[in-house]
Amino acid sequence: MTPLRPIGESRGTTARAKVRILDAWRAREDAKPGDAVRAEELFDVSGTAAVVTGAASGIGLAIAQVLAANGARVTLLDRDAARLEAALQEMAAGADVRTEMADVTDRVELDRAFDAAAKAHGRIDAAFANAGIGGGPGFLTIDGRRNAENSFEGISEERWNAVIAHHLSSVFWTIQAAARHMKPQGGGRIIVTTSIAALKTEAIIGAPYMAAKAGAAHLVRQAALELARYNILVNAIAPGPFRTNISGGRLNDPAVREFHARTSPLKRMAEPDEIMGLALFLASPAARYITGAQMVIDGGASLGSAD
C-alpha cells in the first residue's frame, strides 16, 4: 500500500492547547455555539499512543498506517518478526512507529508487550485487538457441496481450541492488558476486530470461528459497560470479506473472491485500506460518545445478495 498523508496538518503533542491527549478527545465540549468544526480537529489523533495487534499485514497493517500517518505514536504488535520488519517500511515517512513481537494467545507475552509500549510512549491511549487466524472452511464448500471434514462432528479439538484462543481468549487478554494501563491515566479507547460472523450464520466458514466472533462481540459490550466509569470506550469493527492473507491466503483465491463478489451487493471484496476511515474515527475525538457499539463494514454483505 502507498504510504498515507495526514487528513490535515499534523499538530505535535507539544502544540496542544490543553494538558494531555485525553483532553483533546473532550476538547469539543469547550466549543462555543456556532464555532466551526474542522475535520482535522474532529479526527485528530496526533500524539495518541496506540497499540495494534496483528499489525504486520492486512487489516492490522492498514489500521497502523492510518494512525501513524495522522500523527499517532504506534506500536505494531505481531508474532511474525519478518513481516513486522516489512510493515515498518509501509509506514509514512517520519512516523513514530515501533514494533513488539508477541503471540496474543500468550498472556505473559502480551502483557510484556503492552508494558513495553507504555514505557516507550509514556501511556496507551488506544488499543486495537485485531490479531487472528483463519476460521477454516465450513460444512459447505463454495460450490454448495457438503464437507464432512468440517461438519460439527468432524472438527478437531485442536482446531476448536486454536480458533477460540486467537479470536476470543486473546481479545479478553488484550482488553485486560489495555485497561490495566488506561484506568490510572483516566481513560482510553479499545477497538476489537470482530466480524459479520458475529451477526449471522455462514455455511462456508467453520463453526469455531462463528462462535468465537459472536463471543468477542458480546465481550465488547460487557467490557464497555464495566469500563465506562473509567472513561474507557470499547467498540468493535465487524468487517465482511476483506482481501487479506488470513487463512493462508485463501481469500486471494480467485474462486473465493468470485464467490464473495457474487454474494455481495457491491459485487466485490474489500481491500484492507478500506478499514482506515472507520479505525481513525473510533480512535479520534469524533467518537467520544460511542461505546459498546459494533460497526459493520461489509459492503452490504450481511444484507444478502442483490442484482
Task: Map grid coordinates 460497526 to a residue.
Answer: 295
Cα–Cα separations (whole angstroms), residue 11 to 8, 45, 71, 92, 253? 9, 9, 8, 16, 42
Q: Which residues of 188-221 are buried (b: 16+ CB within 10 A; e: fewer)?
A: bbbbbbbbbbbbeebebbbbbbbbbbbbbbebbb
Q: Which residues contact 106 (CB under 8 A, 6 or more apart)?
A: none
Report the candidate in 232, 235, 133, 245 with the shortest Cα–Cα distance to residue 193.
235
Q: Which of helix, strand or coil describes residue 229?
A: helix
209 is catalytic: yes
| C-alpha gyration radius of the chain | 19
Cα–Cα separations (whole angstroms), residue 81 to 54, 88, 103, 217, 274? 11, 11, 11, 29, 25
Is residue 63 within 8 A of residue 4, CB to CB? The reply is no
Report the candidate in 278, 95, 101, 94 with the shortest Cα–Cα distance to residue 189.
278
Annotated active-site residue in 209, 215, 231, 280: 209
Is residue 224 within 8 A of residue 176, CB to CB? The reply is no
- Helix axis angle for 170-185 and 207-227, nearest 10°, is 20
Q: Which residues contact 251 (CB under 8 A, 6 or more apart)?
A: 241, 242, 243, 244, 245, 257, 260, 269
Alpha carbon distance 118, 112 (integer Å) = 10
* Positions marked catalytic: 209
